[in-house]
Structure 1
Amino acid sequence: MAGTGTGTTARRRRVVLATDQVGRSMDADLPALVAALQERGTDAVAVDWDDPEHPWSAADAVVVRSTWGYTRRLAEFLAWADRVAAVTALHNPAGVVRWNSDKRYLEELVARDVPTVPTRFIAPGDPVSLPSSGGFVVKPSVSAGARDSARYTQEQRPAAEAHVRSLQAGGQSAMVQPYMERIVEGERALVFVGGEFSHGVRKGPVLTDTGRVDNGRTPHPDLVEHVPDTAELAVARAALSAAYGASGSAGAPLLYARVDLALDRGGSPVVMELELIEPNLFLTRTEGGLRRFADAVGRL
């Protein structure tokens, strides 16, 4: 053993960063994170979550990073998370992954008095109910990167209803939200590492036109660093506190979390999404983000 004078060196910690084919092609942070961990003496490697040959039990920890194709194979992905969690440490935990995989978690945030964008969910077989005034957004309750999402005006209600029915026909629940007009001032993404605020970014609106689904949109346009104000931090922390209680993750803080906020008409921050599964953490787009996250992973 190390320190015994025998000359034997301690085994390096093994950390697997879970990704997939989509993530490998789009995750700019992944190569930098692998390199940063290796520089810290961690045996780090990126592996596709659906690799049937990988020995997950050989890792000291598995960190879910850019498994961005999971929404098309949710049941398979959740089963994978359970299997990995049974043989090694999974971050974030499988229970959190399951809870956060369907945006119905927004209802639990509301129930716990977290300021949240008003959302109605329309399950398969439910009647289609759309807002009677103002612009609104339709998207699946299991989605990532604005996939299969569109913004509508009142004049486009027939197209919006067809969108909802298409999702229902595919066995998906639709979610309908008012279009947040002040999103033109930027959506705020606040990143927490080990329960502490690490960094923030602000991005431009994604649904810049109306009436059509466009899965080729850039999910994070016009990124700039963002220093959150007191109100934004308070809402983000309230959302995380609610998530700890609702998902059964009481105990140690989550390795990572991203809280996406928008401003309501009065300028107050409200939660758009709470990203606890595989969010882009913008580690290489912010000062110190990569260092803080690599340090946290190295402490697992």
Structure 2
Amino acid sequence: MPAVWTDPAVDWDAFALVVVRSTWDYITRRDAFLAWAHGVPRLANSAAVLEWNIDKRYLAELAAAGLPVVPTTFVEPGGAPDAAALSGEVVVKPAVSAGSLDTGRHADPDAAAAHVTRLHEAGRTAMLQPYVAGVDEAGETALLYLGGRWSHAIRKGPMLVGERRTVDGLFLEEDIRPREPSAAELELGEHVMAVVAERFGSLLYARVDLLPGPGGEPLVVEVELTEPSLYLETNSGAPGRLAAAIAARV
């Protein structure tokens, strides 16, 4: 049965398993969300996974583990980005975010710095990444894993182009299609999943988002372990695989 994480009437102890799905409203109340997660006895993915994953500073850990990650600079409130982080075309977003909200693409260093300032004024850590131009033509590849195994993949159209509408104020409208991933993308996805599994064990669900680097090589832009869209409708076997993975956990 569906239930809302903020509903005080729900008895979370009564469920054999609680599966996190579309909790996209947590970004403005992270501490309350994590307190709820740690209070649920049987949660997938676990509260420890959620706590690590909802702050995108995990990207620095993945890079330190040797994975090819889109270069990322994190700037805490009170700090200022250096000139190198602002040079060229850059993407600025909060370290705790979902659905590409409060994310901007800037060619003007002053505009990028002003975006960082706005995030800091709201008490948020900012992150800066160079805009990966290959996404304009190739799009983004998302690899979906269910029960610890690769299930299917989708192509997501470039998000930071033109005017984009939000859906119920929760996420930007997306252009989604099925995709057959390359061997290099699948190999990188397996490496990412191995690093995560070494720390947290096998996960019920995961999404690894990749962008094409300057030479076409895949780069990790995000690893979604908290509340990702799994795009089950794009693959006829995906709903059954998720159901089987949930049943195995129960």
TM category (shorter chain) comes to over 0.9
Q: How many residues align?
A: 244
Q: What's the CA shift for 1:234?
A: 1.1
- Does 1:59 find its partner at 2:15? yes
Contact 1:203 1:220 in 2 (8 A): no
Q: What's the CA shift for 1:230?
A: 1.3
Give the aligned partner of residue 170 of structure 1: 122
Separation in 1, partners of 2:173, 2:3: 24
Give the aligned partner of residue 21 of structure 1: none
Secondary structure, aligned partner of 1:69: helix
Give the aligned partner of residue 40 of structure 1: none
- Does 1:48 find its partner at 2:1? no
Secondary structure, aligned partner of 1:257: strand
- Does 1:152 find its partner at 2:101? no
Trace 1:1-300 onto structure 2 (pairs within 5 A). Answer: 45-84=1-40, 88-130=41-83, 131=85, 133-153=87-107, 156-184=108-136, 185-209=138-162, 216=166, 219=172, 221-245=174-198, 248-250=199-201, 253-300=202-249
How does the TM-score come out when normalised to structure 2? 0.93
Encode CA deviations 1:85-131: one digit per residue, 9 max, x unaligned: xxx31100110010001000000000000111000000011123353
Opposite residue 138 of structure 1, the aligned amino acid is V
Q: What's the CA shift for 1:287?
A: 2.4
Give the aligned partner of residue 29 of structure 1: none
5+ long unaligned stretches in structure 2: none
Give the aligned partner of residue 5 of structure 1: none
Q: What's the CA shift for 1:296?
A: 1.2
Encode CA deviations 1:123-142: one digit per residue, 9 max, x unaligned: 01112335354211000000
Q: What's the CA shift for 1:279?
A: 0.2
Separation in 1, partners of 2:61, 2:25: 25
Contact 1:137 1:152 in 2 (8 A): yes
Distance change (3 Å), C-alpha of 1:47 and 1:289? same
Which segments of structure 1 move beyond 2 Å, counting only runs of 4 or more? 128-134, 214-222
Opposite residue 249 of structure 1, the aligned amino acid is F
Opposite residue 148 of structure 2, the aligned amino acid is G
Separation in 1, partners of 2:143, 2:81: 33
Encode CA deviations 1:135-176: one digit per residue, 9 max, x unaligned: 1100000000111000000xx222211110111111110000
Distance change (3 Å), C-alpha of 1:114 and 1:149? same
Contact 1:148 1:215 in 2 (8 A): no
Give the aligned partner of residue 25 of structure 1: none
Distance change (3 Å), C-alpha of 1:202 and 1:220? farther
Opposite residue 182 of structure 1, the aligned amino acid is G
Give the aligned partner of residue 37 of structure 1: none
CA-atom RMSD in angstroms = 1.6
5+ long unaligned stretches in structure 1: 1-44
Contact 1:204 1:220 in 2 (8 A): no
